[in-house]
Structure 1
């Protein structure tokens, strides 16, 4: 029997049949066991009123030998379901990296030497700084990490070197007086984290951090899952979206023997450093890391589902880098081989189903909030387009008037020359 076509038909993907046939062929086709497993996932999630992603569930089955009806692979989960756990209106406040020293109460984080908030300069303790004071704060010939403070997914992260009056990165030079013009109104400069040799050996140019997930459920905070994020191609960040790799971490801290990239390729050898992921490695003091993120979550009352980026310090202890309130949740599950909500899956799926049917529930509120955001973005784009059109019109008017004025001057000059 052709289980590939049967599975495609069962998932209602007939219009993509040719594309999906090629996709499944590349992974070795669909067996009877895989068909039965994936069909049961689709049936369960459809009954619950949720979408199921055929490709992602299939890859999960291939990677981990079994699937789970509680694996939530649709991209809708990020924008709608997680909004049932996190207050999206407060995300901007919690995500500003310049506020971490106020919000995140731990000494186990990199020291921020310089911060720029809405184009105003401050030191580590939020004391105001003048431009000429930067040279006394940043040590000459020392490397630092510069980050834009209101961006995510590894954007705006650079390893820089300080000099008397400027910073360098690669072949670029930025004078202190031009920092705001170059990096915007909001950024910070931190000490470089010294990471454990077990982890730095994988890709020394980046801080290879753990993405650890905690969940507040029924009034108690639980550790859910974790995976290691590894940089590539000499870049300073470790995000999968910028070319990095992800490695699953078991509950006892042991790394999986393969990595996954954004294109969902399985990788045994690091493409840049040649590191062999098949060698056995266990995160030191892993239970301490779990307790660390659970304790940090207690200071985040508006969000019940939090992803933490935590470095493994050279002393084997956790170092906070940042927290996130969305994330590619389907990737979390594909990398770790675990359903998103672990032992609470049935309870939470039931809760989400009830929320979908409750007009005043957080699920519909989250959808309305998302629609409001889309509407605001459209309005913003419309206003920006009108402003550009207006600016272009003004520019054209000025240019025409200037041309007429210059023409008039030239005409008058020629007239005087003739006289």
Structure 2
């Protein structure tokens, strides 16, 4: 039976605690108004199989009546915010992805994900009228730095003392992606669809970005990513760049600072050794008339992702805007300060030439383009990755003398990654 937005699992004692529970949610909404939409979207389920409160990936909140009865309203408000934070930050989806990527299996690894996700949340959500619940897991308790993401914290600790005191934590599948036997599942009553969940996240992100400086740093970062979510092609592009930059010979140089071990076989001769240095990457951005302003904006986001893919050394990433000619090589200090001027025809061969003539030649070249360009006849001396803005149908050339021209695919010596989807496509 349903009352308001409460799904009744059993009636024993529930009415006695419901008023206190909802008073705590109202308090949470008052002190964190940008989370109100998400707090009131949760569907509450009474459950005597959870120790405190927990959420499933379908936006149901399971509540222990005895926990509510013994917990002050101010602390309950903090628990409300904590649990809804798991869902807003997609810890269930991220937990599934990191489990696949790192081969993490079993309930112990999911518990570790739950604790890492708690560290991400609890680091900065409390204060300013929100009281941390008793026993809240904080990264400082393990001497870990604040401001990290769940994926980062997972690399920083293993289960064991002093984590034994946290073994009781179980925030449900909403915190780590692993469905519990006491959850109602995908077919249960009143779960939110994926579209409804995205709508809630968008409205919360809109509320945060609409009041700059009002939300903590972690929430502001989350809101920015909600409007520009990580995309599968970005992971592919990053992997392609790392592969190109780590190719044999890339980022290697000779140094006499540490003599070669082979010098022992040549008495009296000092031989240099090979030194691995961070790779240099040159990004050629197509600024011709066939590339839209939205795609140019996306290109700058990709430049930031490329910098992260090579270890965050922005000083080793350069940007070459190019339409029919390349004018200047820009060092990557702040991506938003790079002028993407152009708008004419396209010939990215000049961009390749400019990048390769730089004082410090790149170890890898990344080209962000719609593909409507002639390509160099031969492979450059370094690996090349092409981020290709796709089109819904073959796009003809802007050359009025040949209106039926269809651009060639990038050469076989490039690694091609499709970036996003064309307008009007899913």
Point out the structure with the larger helix share. Answer: 1
Greater length-normalized contact order (CA 8 Å, ≥ 6 residues apart): 1
- What range describes the TM-score normalised by the shorter chain of this pair? under 0.3
TM-score by length of 1: 0.26
TM-score by length of 2: 0.26
